[in-house]
Structure 1
Amino acid sequence: MTTPVSRPRLRRRWPLPAALGTALVAALLSAVSVQAEPAPSSDYEYSPVAERVQRENPELTQYESAFLEQYDTIKDPASGYFREFDGLLVPYHSVEKLIVEAPDTGHATTSEAYSYYLWLEATYGRVSGDWQPFNDAWASMEAFIIPSTADQPTNGSYDPSAPASYIPESLDPSDYPMPITPEVQPGQDPLADELSSTYGTDEVYGMHWLLDVDNVYGYGFCGDGTHDAPAYINTFQRGSNESVWETVPHPSCETFEHGGENGFLDLFVDDQAYSEQWRYTNAPDADARAVQVAYLAHEWAAEQGNASDIAESVDDAAMMGDYLRYAMFDKYFKEIGDCVDPASCSPGSGKESAHYLMAWYYSWGGAMESAEYPWAWRIGGSAAHQGYQNVMAAYALSEVDALRPESATGAEDWGVSLDRQLEFLQWLQSSDGGIAGGATNSWEGDYSEPPAGTPTFYGMFYDEKPVWHDPASNQWFGFQVWDIERVAEYYRITGDERAGDILDSWIPWAIENTTVGPDGEFAIPADMEWSGAPDDWTGTSTGNPDLSVEVVSHNQDVGIAAGLAKTLMHYADATGDEASLETAEGLLDALMEHQDDLGVAIPEVRGDYERFDDPFDAPNGGLYVPEGWTGQMPGGDVVDSDSTFASIRSFVEDDPDWPRVQEYLDGGPAPEFTYHRFWAQVDVATALATHGELFGETDPDPDPSPDPDPSPDPSPDPDPSPDPDPVGSCEVVYDIASEWNQGATVNVTVRNDGDEAAEDWALTWDGPAGEEITGAWNAEVVRSGATVTATPVGWNSTIAAGGQTSFGFQLTHTGQAATPEAFALNGEACTTG
């Protein structure tokens, strides 16, 4: 593991009984926001880099220069995006403290924010050649949001044959606490022993999703009330209808020092006796993004000859991806497919419980180190949301040598996951182009029977709004962008036609619902409404004629607008689509019209802030605490059946922006806030840099046609060999995409210009001397003597007449990568392009 520059003291934190496997991670939404008073500047030293880096790299484009300016703004202590601990920076969710989203305060942070911190520094490394900030970001993540040995001390007592006690979920928070049901048998955990033997530890290497950076709640380390920070905390625990407004923040390490007699455990789990414990919940989309970014960093650093600078961090990313496989498994390791009734649904053995998708969470916990009889538990996730899928991470962990996990089956599992995720998105794609919600192996969280006729995907049930319903998880356009951006980047890199088919439908739909005008005017989709359902998945997309989506509102979310711009740029670079590049550039230019001293931001109206003082009122919701339950927050706020969101977070009333909220609660207008979310500012920065990377300084024609020859040859050059027969001919484009000291990556496109399909194709060529193939994607590429042969991987075994396929590979060389002189497809000579 990477050793931090200055590692803070070991922290102890503790979770719920083996029963509390019901933790639900919330979507790290940003759909709505607030204009709050910026926090005081953090106290750390920073020297601006934009002027120096531009001077040292005069070839940088105007967009890359804009990236550097945005980078300086984010890193400037006066802006307030970070807090420094022992020489390492921890990002806040937002500059402003008074903001309620999935994090209920702006000076919390999330694994999402950390993954964006890595993205910011990886992009800076590409532009500047300086990779120390990227390593520092990884060190901070490892120090503060990946639980240390002392934070998860009893994993050695974990029994993979009995991963966790079953606790049913309920949709309604007022049904909690839910009972432990020991008679329901979980399946076997097939990962634990493999991971322990591979890495020599029983610990889990993954991020917990939420930190109280300033220790505003006061739980401190291990719930002991100290003022050391950051502190592991959690919120969501009580089913799909529990919104952030209905949560009770509690420590990840439960010592019974706060809350009621049993701490906060008996708000969530009905048990005969309660134990002091620790527990953590992973948000797989964040860990997958961290892996994706590590892949990008590796590729960029390798192109510079600097791969060794970040080799240790990249190794850790591969390890993180190995543990991230827990998100591929049913919550209680039950068999995948037609899993109805927890008692009769078969416990899984081996990989029978793997759906190979990115679920909403995985979680782990155990007893305190001082327990007389220590125990530990682990759970996967039964529900998969389209917005959490990451084909880039799956590609990197299965196909790229530097990111392939060390375990025996890790890379293989990620290869299956790559195919499964692409199928999943094909299955969920509406006839309009948008991607619908997801699927679950546990209907309503308790393996209930779904309504008759519910469509299935590998036996999992279609769920139009998986995991959370307040607000419905299929409404927010941001999940579309986050997911499809990764698909577009994957398509640009690999040319996988399955990804291209998804994009060919999604991109026009997104552009049709996006407008860009003069002087910073723009609007992107905000909320969507869905109707119908997909067809059963049989391995081939039907186009889902009965599934449709309508964009019902628009907004100016700066982070999602930037993410959409990146998506469109990847697609434009891959296809030459002019409309995509034009829309992307229009969005970037519009965003730059909304710069302020802290970055890029646009005011938002927060009508939902009326819920600050909502008491519980069945069936209308509100903060539910059972009658007779009484406890206290660390600061003395009483928790009982009369509590509200604000009453157990009384610190919000000390915020300079609170009077505007109070005025609203008293009957005034909904308040307007201008928020500076960390992840959104990074999305803006990286979108600017992406333009510079892909398109350079000028405004290029994305689909150029060659200029006509101004003076045609009066006599053609003699052709030393007869022209090939045009029937059955082919064309090969061999592109050395990147090259470093003794290696290179190559992208190959094979076009079949003949009248008949090329079945089970094989492309051959003589490899230049000194070159060796070290890895490939979308084809099997082997060298025997001087001959290199590329063959399909299954899904691309046929190249239709007039069609094409693409693949790529990595090689080593002894001097310089060279382009072969001739190619043959199934024995027929090809032209080169």
Structure 2
Amino acid sequence: MLIRRGSSVEKPSRARPHRTRRTSLLAGALALSLPLGITLASQSGAQPLTAPTGAAALQYEDRFLELYDQIMDPANGYFSAEGIPYHSVETLIVEAPDHGHETTSEAYSYLIWLQAAYGKVTGDWDPFNDAWQVMEDYIIPGAADQPTNSFYSPSAPATYAPELPDPSQYPSPMDGAVSVGVDPLANELSATYGTDDIYGMHWLQDVDNVYGFGNAPGAPCAGGPQTPGPSYINTFQRGPEESVWETVPHPSCDDFTYGGDNGFLDIFIGDDGYAEQWRYTNAPDADARAVQAAFWANKWATEQGAQAEIAGTLEKAAKMGDYLRYGHYDKYFKQSGCTSPSCPPGTGKDSANYLLSWYYSWGGATNSNAGWAWRIGSSHNHFGYQNPMAAYALSTDPDLIPDSPTAQQDWETSLERQVEFYRWLQSSEGAIAGGATSSWNGSYAAPPAGTASFYGMYYQEAPVYVDPPSNQWFGMQAWSMQRLAELYLETGDPMAGEVLDKWVPWVIGEVTIGQDGDFSIPATLSWSGQPDNWNPANPGDNAGLSVSVTDYSQDVGVTGSLANALSFYAAATGDTAAQATASGLLDAMWEHQDDLGIAVPESRGDYSRFADEVYLPAGFSGTMPNGDVIEPGSTFESLRSFYQEDPDWTKVQAYLDGGPEPVFEYHRFWAQADIALALATYADLFGDGA
């Protein structure tokens, strides 16, 4: 467990005793005598929105510290014994992770960002360094976890296998006749760091080894059900229609102990023979968030005269950013504009899109005598994964510019390309549309005639996955625009300002804030049309690309991110509506504080899918570590029978038996961190002395 520790650094005078009571928006305004603030009418007209400034805004710093203490309290259950943040306190939850005591690289990155904010507020940087170390110890595979990288050949990075439209079409056949491009990063990275290993996070971890694969860091193939602690696992592998409800969980190191005769490999890949192997998948948005947090930590620690305390961690962040460039590349290092598997391969950086793609992956044989390893990028680029603030840090901050000779220029190019991507995808109303691909249908097919393009990539309404569509969740808007708003405040980038000047009024118009914690933000978006073809010299107005909000929610994590984004924009522009909306949302959420953090009731009608059948190829037969049978006819729940022992299972079973939709109040780690960060941001940008 990461415990707050004392520091020899003198605490800033702004750190004050925590409040122990909740204050309503109106009562807080009266108590703090808000001539110091800004007042606007709320969208509902129920009461004025107040935007505290100066000393009055420091209430949000107190709230940050109060929520921080709730998150870090060992009794509240956010962390494992190792100090790893769980996806959620609650165990019965199915989202991208399919169990609450799994975790993601996202959660690790949020921990690092949270501890950076804590260092800003208190002057104590030990927790920030500790958070990075926990990440390095447990979610970045070490040398023992990726043992055969020395056999990797950059001229033959991987064997091609097409992505297929539906899980029922898998396993996908490998096709060595399709030419793949050259990996232009591997030799440079090996020369820079003296190793062939990758320094990046794997995206998913079974923290309590609930599945029992026991892929423990340091010995990923030597475990099993009795192995305590975190285990590397994976789920999604089978194309855009594979929702979490259709996944087959499997170990990151497959030595054929579990699954069928070939472990789990022949569920996903068709081949003439199968070898025991390890493989990892990186989510570039999470690594970028860790770098983003390191940038702010560096800025704040330097202001405090404490930069030397985090210098070692900053070196690691720069290194992570060096390897993060794999997220710039097409899956098989093909050039953009490829419309056939037979198109010419890339010969260098001509296969780079300079965006943050959905993933990069790497793997190899467990047997060193087998002598092979592979690496791939991803052809699919979602606007929500972009992080221009990380690109800015990696191209301009002397403490974060990576050591590789071409890294700084790559990130300079990426910074410009990412901001252009937002501008290209901005709807006529202001929201940002899905993304683009360099491999249509994941198989380098020809896109439909008239499909809009961006530097050779083709517009995708819902990049990567369509069950549900990846562009319908409003959270991607809040996450990605928060980063752009940071960049705008820090640099004044004119195109970033152009995008935000349109996005902010749109989103404010879709927010409602009432009394006593009543609020709503967009939840689900519906899209029509497509953007204009991109012309950087003359960007179009995208009159044919439109969005509508079809549902609203009180998603507290997304609300925190939205408040954060609006705060940065308000600080950059003086926009009083943005500032008042940010503080109004923060006040409304504070009314939903409970013993563990901030939470609201959530009805989960999608839990009917516990009974959904998971497609498995005809003839496949195997077992999970606990003996659950894997075969055609298996369901999501039958592959996870441990859920029947969960204390909340009775609510789900009653629903499956015809009862009402189950209702939960979830405490997701990332969501609590996002709220806390928004509180700290508001206090920092508008508080005493800001």
User: Scaled by the length of structure 2, what TM-score is found?
Assistant: 0.91
Mapped contact 2:14–2:121 kept (Cα < 8 A): no
Would you identify which runs of 4 or more consecutive aligned residues in structure 1 move more than 4 Å? 43-49, 52-56
Letter in 2 for 1:291: V
- Give the residue type in structure 1 aligned to 2:588: A
CA displacement at 1:56 relative to structure 2 = 8.1
**Richer in strand (by share):** 1
Question: Contact 1:439–1:460 (CA<8 Å) still a contact in 2?
Answer: yes
- 2:500 paired residue number: 503
Q: CA deviation at 1:371?
A: 3.8
Q: Is the 8 A contact 2:11 2:123 kept in 1?
A: no
- Quote the Cα distance in structure 1 between the aligned partners of 2:335 and 2:283: 22
Structure-to-structure mapping, 1:290-689, within 5 angstroms: 290-336=290-336, 338-343=337-342, 345-368=343-366, 370-539=367-536, 540-615=538-613, 623-689=614-680
**Separation in 2, partners of 1:249, 1:57:** 45
Question: Deviation per CA, 1:402-444, whole angstroms, max 9, x where unpaired?
Answer: 1111110001000000000011110000110000000000001
How many Å apart are 1:127 and its aligned residue?
Answer: 0.4
CA contact (8 A) 1:315 1:402 kept: yes
Deviations 1:192-239 (A, max 9, x none): 000000111100000000000000000003243141320000000000
Evaluate the alpha carbon distance shift between residue 140 and residue 259 of structure 1 in structure 2; reply closer, same or farther with a 3 A threshold: same
User: Equivalents in 1 of 2:257, 2:288: separation in Å?
Assistant: 35
Structure 2 residue aligned with 1:8: none
Aligned mates of 2:133, 2:2 — CA distance in 1? 17
Shift of 1:91: 0.4
Report what 1:123 is aligned to.
Answer: 117
TM superposition shift of 1:627 = 2.1
1:235 matched to 2:225? The reply is no
Name the CA distance, whole Å, in 2 between partners of 1:54 and 1:154. 49
Query: Does structure 1 retain, via aligned residues, the 8 Å contact 2:147–2:368?
Result: no
Which protein has the larger Cα radius of gyration, Structure 1 or Structure 2?
Answer: 1
| Residues 562-619 of structure 1: CA deviation (Å, up to 9, x unaligned) | 100011010100100010001001000001000000000000000000000122xxxx
Whether the aligned pair in 2 keeps the contact of 1:160 and 1:190 (CA below 8 Å) is yes
SS in 2 for 1:596: coil
- Counterpart in the other structure of 1:186: 180
CA distance in 2: counterparts of 1:152 and 1:213, whole angstroms: 19
**CA displacement, residues 268-304 of structure 1 (integer Å, 9 cap, x when unaligned):** 0011110000000000000000000000000000000
SS of the residue aligned with 1:525? strand
Q: Secondary structure at the match of 2:280?
A: strand
2:15 maps to: 57
User: Which of 185, 189, 208 is 1:214 aligned to?
Assistant: 208
- Residue deviations 1:115-160, cap 9 Å, x none? 0000110000000101000000000000000000000011000000
One-letter amino acid matched to 1:675: Y
Match of 2:36?
Answer: none
Query: Pick from 77, 97, 106: which aligns with 2:100?
Result: 106
In 2: Cα distance, 1:558 partner to 1:217 partner: 29
- Larger proportion of helix: 2
User: CA 1:501–1:105 in 2, change beyond 3 Å: closer, same or farther?
Assistant: same
Matched, 1:156 2:150: yes
CA displacement 1:436-490 (0-9 Å, x = unmatched): 0000000010011111100000111101100001110010000011110000010
Counterpart-to-counterpart distance in 1, 2:490 and 2:564 = 14
Following superposition, the deviation at residue 400 of structure 1 comes to 1.1
RMSD: 1.6
Deviations 1:26-64 (A, max 9, x none): xxxxxxxxxxxxxxxxx8866899xx9798834892111
- 2:108 maps to a residue whose letter is Y
CA contact (8 A) 1:529 1:552 kept: yes
CA distance in 1, matches of 2:463, 2:114: 30
Maintained 8 Å contact 1:48/1:72: no
3-state SS, counterpart of residue 524 of structure 1: strand
Equivalent pair of 1:107/1:214 in contact (CA under 8 Å): yes
Q: Percent identity?
A: 60
2:196 aligns with 202
Q: Please state how far the C-alpha of 1:626 moved relative to its aligned partner.
A: 1.5
What is the aligned residue count? 642
Structure 1 contact 335–353 (Cα < 8 Å) conserved = yes
Structure 1, residues 533-577: CA drift from partner, whole Å, max 9, x if none? 001001132110000000010000001001000110101001000
Alignment partners' CA distance in 1, 2:297 and 2:124: 11
The structure-2 alpha-carbon separation of the partners of 1:636 and 1:46, relative to structure 1 and needing over 3 Å to count, comes to farther
TM-score (norm 1): 0.76
SS of aligned partner of 1:402: coil
Is the CA contact 1:48–1:76 (under 8 Å) kept in the aligned structure 2?
Answer: no
Task: Measure, in 1, the Cα distance between the counterparts of 2:235 and 2:277.
Answer: 16
Distance across 2 between alignment mates of 1:659 and 1:181: 47
CA distance in 2, matches of 1:520, 1:658: 30
Report the equivalent of 1:176: 170
Could you report, residue by residue, the CA deviation over 1:505-531 in whole angstroms, capped at 9, with x for unpaired residues? 000000000111111010000000001
Structure of greater relative contact order (alpha carbons < 8 Å, 6+ residues apart): 2
3-state SS, counterpart of residue 350 of structure 2: helix
Name the residue aligned to 2:68: 71
Superposed, 1:737-748 pairs within 5 Å as none
